[in-house]
Structure 1
Amino acid sequence: MQWLLLVGSWVAVAIIVGGLMLSLKSNKVRLLNGVIGNLLLVMIFFSLTMTVIYINDRRLSSVFIVLLILILIPIIITYLLSGIMLLWNALIVWRHESHTLQNMLTLLIGLAIIVSPFVFGMIDKYFPSSIAAAITAVTDVIVLYVIFWFLNFLTSFFLSRIFRPSYDKQYIIVLGAGLIKGRTVTPLLAARIKRAKDFSDLQISKTGLAPVIVISGGQGPDEKVPESQAMKEYALSLGIDNDHIFMESKSKTTLQNMQFSKKILENNDIDLSKGLFATSDFHTYRAAGYARYVGLNINGLSAKTSHFFIPNALLREYAAILLSHKKFHIIALAVLIIFSIVQTTTHVIPHLF
C-alpha cells in the first residue's frame, strides 16, 4: 500500500508540472502560476518524504533531515525577525529615496508586526472575550489571506523571470519614470534605457537586426519636460541612433505606456508580436500584465534595481496587483471573514453560559 502512495505522489508531481508548463505557456504573468508552483513545491516535499520513508535507509534519512533543517532555519529566522528586518530596510530606503507613502511600505508593515502583540494583548485584556475572539479571528483571516497570495505572487514573479528573449525583435518599449528636478532622468530610468540599448546592441551583433526603441513617458505636473524628451536625450548620449527612436509623450500610467506605444507601432507597420519592453526588474511582472491587456503579447527586459529598494518595490507591486482584482479579493475575504466569525461565535458563546 505504501508503494502505491509513493507512485501516486510522483504521478501527481508530473501532472502538476504539466499543468504549470501549460499555464506559463498561456500566460507568464498571472497569480495562478504561483498557486500551481507552490502546490508543486508541497507535492515534491511530500513525495521526497514518502521516498525516504519507503527506502528506509538511515544515512539517507539523516541527510534528508539535515537538508530540511538547513531550509527551515532561514525561514524561521526570517519569520521571527521580519518586523526588525523590515524596519531596517525602511531606514535605508528613507535615507536614499523620497519620503512618499509608497516608499514607506516596509516601515508601516514592520511597525505593524512589532506593535501587533501589544495591541492584541490590550484587546484581550479590556474587551469581552467574544468580541476579542472575533477581532482576533478576523485579523488572522486577513493576515493569512494576504500572506497566501503574497507567497503565490513571489513564486509567480520568479517563474516569470525564467524567460529568455530571442534575438528577432523589431521593437523595445522603454517605460518612463519620474525625472530629477523635472528635467533629468533618474538612475532607475537610466538603467531601463541602458537595458534596452544592451539588448539592442547584442541583437545587432548576432543578427544585424536593429530594433526601434519606443521611448514612452508623458509630462507630470511637477516636470518641466515630457519624460520621453529627457529619455531620448539620454538615449542619444548613449549612442542610440536617432532614426531608431520613436517618442511617445502622452502617457501618464504604465497602461497608457502600452496603449499609446502600440498605436505608434501600428502606424509604422511593425509586427506587434516581435517586441519587448524594458523596465525595472520589480516592475516587469505587472507591466507584462498591462501589455497583454492592450494586446501586446510581449515580455520584459529587467533593469537592475538597488538591492535595498527591492523589498519595498515588491510589496508595492503586490499591492497594485491585488487592487487590480479588488472585487474578487473583497468577495473572497468577506466570505472567509463571515465563516470565521460564525465559527468563533459558535465556539465562544456556549462557554459564556
Structure 2
Amino acid sequence: MLFGIAAIVPALFFVIGMVRDRRRLGNAVWLGLTLVLLVLWLVFRATAIGGWSAVVVGYAFVALLLGLGFVLPIALIANGVLMLRREGFGLANLLSLLAGLAIVGVVLAFGFATAHTAPAVDAVIGSLLIVAAYVAFLFVSLLLYSIVYGSIGRRTGFDAVVVLGAGLNGDRVPPLLAARLDRGLHLYRREVGAGRTPLLVVSGGQGADEQVSEAAAMREYLVRRGVPDEAVVLEDQATTTEQNLAYSARLLAERDWTGRAVAVTNNFHVFRAAVLARRLRLRMQIIGAPTAWYFLPSAFLREFAALLTHNPVVHTVTCGALVALHLVLTLT
C-alpha cells in the first residue's frame, strides 16, 4: 500500500509537467519514478497475497534478470557488430557494442562480489552497481518518455514545415535524411491539400566531407518529387541540431511568419530536439520519421548521452550522494 500511495506524488508531477510543457526533461524522470513505485507496489502486493500471484511475480523477476543479464548484452553486442559492418567504424557506431560489454562487466562484477564478501570489495562493487542502476533508470525513463512524446501532439494545421539536416554521402541524400524529407513532404502535401500554403524549410550546412550543403541536396530531393522550387526555403549555415532550430526560426521571423511550425527529424532524435527547442524558447513541435531498426539502439544511446550533458551537475551530485550513502552504510 505504501508504494502505491507514494506513486501518486511523481504521477501528479508528471501530469503537471505534461500540461505545462511536454518538452521538459523532468517529465521523463517523474514517469520513471511512477513506474518504479508501481512495480514495487505490484511485487509487494503479490507477495502478500501469495499463491499464483507470488509465483507469477517470481517467474517475471527471473525472466527480467535473465533478460537484462544475458539476452540484452548479447543483443547489443550483435547490434554493435552489425552497425560496424553496415555503417563503418566510428564512436557513434560503437555505442551499442560498448553498452553490451559494459553490462557484461556489471554482471561479472556482481558475480565477483557474491563470491568475495570483504567490506572493501562490497563497497567498490556496490558503488559501481549503484551508478549502473542510476544510469539504467535514466535511460529507460528517457526512452519510454521519448516514445510517449513522439506518439502525442498535433499532426496537422502547420504553417511551416522545417526539415532538420543530416549527413550526406558526397552530394547524395542517404536513407536517414531521406526518411526525414519524405515525412516533411507528407506533412507539406497534407497542408496544401487542406488549402494552406506552408513554407517548407530545409536546414543544414556543408560538412568537410560533403560536396554541397545539406540544404541544397535536400531542396533538390524535394523539387525532384514535385515541390515547387519557390516553396522551398534554404537555411544552409547550421551544423548542429540547436543551430538547425535557431537559424530556421530566425529565417521564419525575417519573413514575418507567425504561424504554427513543426520540425521533422528521425524518431530517435525527437525528444532531444524538443528539449533544445524549449531551451531556445521556440514554440515548435517536433515530429519523427521512421528509422532502420538496426540503427535505433546506437542512435538512442547517442541521444541519451547527449541528454545527460544537459544537467551534468545534477547527475553527478545525485550519483555522488547515492554512492556516499552506500559507503557509509557498508563501511560503518
TM-score normalised by structure 2 residue count: 0.87
Q: Does 1:267 align with 2:257?
A: no
Structure 1 residue 140, shift from structure 2 partner = 1.5
The 5 A counterparts of 1:82-97 are 82-97=72-87
What is the alpha-carbon distance in structure 1 between the residues aligned to residue 4 and residue 322 of structure 2? 30
Partner of 2:146: 157
Partner of 2:219: 232
- May I ask how many residue pairs the two structures share in their alignment? 331
> Residue 68 and residue 283 in structure 1: after superposition, are their counterparts in 2 closer, same or farther (change >3 A)?
same
Structure 2 regions of 5+ residues with no counterpart?
A: none
> Residue 262 and residue 228 in structure 1: after superposition, are their counterparts in 2 closer, same or farther (change >3 A)?
same
Q: Output the aligned Cα RMSD.
A: 3.3
SS at match of 2:262: strand
Deviation per residue, 1:274-330 (Å, 9 max, x gap) = 010000100011011111111212221211001111111111111110012112212
Q: Does 1:304 align with 2:304?
A: no
> Residue 327 and residue 42 in structure 1: after superposition, are their counterparts in 2 closer, same or farther (change >3 A)?
closer
SS at match of 1:221: coil
Structure 1 residue 331, shift from structure 2 partner = 2.0
Partner of 1:32: 26
Partner of 1:167: 156
SS at match of 1:209: coil
**Does the 8 Å CA contact 2:7/2:37 hold for their aligned counterparts?**
yes
What is the alpha-carbon distance in structure 1 between the residues aligned to residue 198 and residue 63 of structure 2? 44
* 2:185 aligned to which of 184, 197, 205: 197
Query: Kindly, what percent of the aligned residue pairs are identical?
Result: 30
Partner of 1:139: 128
Q: Which moved more, 1:32-41 or 1:167-176?
A: 32-41
Rg larger in structure: 1
**Does the 8 Å CA contact 2:46/2:57 hold for their aligned counterparts?**
no
TM-score normalised by structure 1 residue count: 0.82
Structure 1 regions of 5+ residues with no counterpart?
A: 347-353
* 1:253 aligned to which of 220, 240, 246: 240
**Does the 8 Å CA contact 1:31/1:152 hold for their aligned counterparts?**
no
Q: Which moved more, 1:155-164 or 1:308-317?
A: 155-164
> Residue 253 and residue 107 in structure 1: after superposition, are their counterparts in 2 closer, same or farther (change >3 A)?
same
Structure 1 residue 142, shift from structure 2 partner = 1.2
SS at match of 2:305: helix
Give the letter aligned to residue 219 of structure 2: K
**Does the 8 Å CA contact 1:124/1:132 hold for their aligned counterparts?**
no
* 2:166 aligned to which of 154, 173, 177: 177
Give the letter aligned to residue 181 of structure 2: I
What is the alpha-carbon distance in structure 2 between the residues aligned to residue 338 and residue 83 of structure 1? 28
> Residue 122 and residue 140 in structure 1: after superposition, are their counterparts in 2 closer, same or farther (change >3 A)?
closer
Partner of 1:222: 209
Structure 1 residue 137, shift from structure 2 partner = 2.5
